[in-house]
Structure 1
Amino acid sequence: MKRDITDAKDNFENRLKVFQLREQNVITATNNYNGSNERYKLGQITSVKLRQAQLNLLNAKTSKNLAKYNAKLAESQLLQLIGQLLHT
């Protein structure tokens, strides 16, 4: 049981780190999109490149949301193991 708790804690911490990295990816993708949008307005890039920047931002946000879900799932598994979350 102690090993299960340790594993669950490690899993939760890892999932939190992944979530934090995904948050940084969203910031980077947002900055890239904003820059691409400005370059598009100036006629320096094509609409295809702008759409790719939009898609990259959407993918970054989706990955962040999935990472948040995985972190919450790992947290609930840990809480269940240590008895702070009742199994229903």
Structure 2
Amino acid sequence: MQAQMVTYPVILHPDNGEYNVEIPDINNDTWIRGTSAAQALILAKEVIGKTLAGLSELPPATPTNQLPVSDQDIQHLVTVDLSAFRLVEPAE
């Protein structure tokens, strides 16, 4: 199976040592929370992969210069191999 790599921006919002993560292009602005920046990015990758794996048409990624961020926010790009999230059909 050929890999299908996609990249989407996320915004990490620090909050008392944890991170709220905004994924603007997934389901009209998905939010998740991680206990560290690393965990938050792993969760973002899983959400993006699971959400988009079954779609035939992917939402466009917003350019990072168009994201509304404040001074304490952190922009990051998350790259996902959608083939890793697609169900493999058993051979007959």
Q: TM-score, normalised by structure 2?
A: 0.26
Q: TM-score, normalised by structure 1?
A: 0.27
Structure number with bigger Rg: 1
- Larger RCO of the pair (alpha carbons < 8 Å, separation 6+): 1
Q: Considering fraction of residues, name the structure with more strand.
A: 2
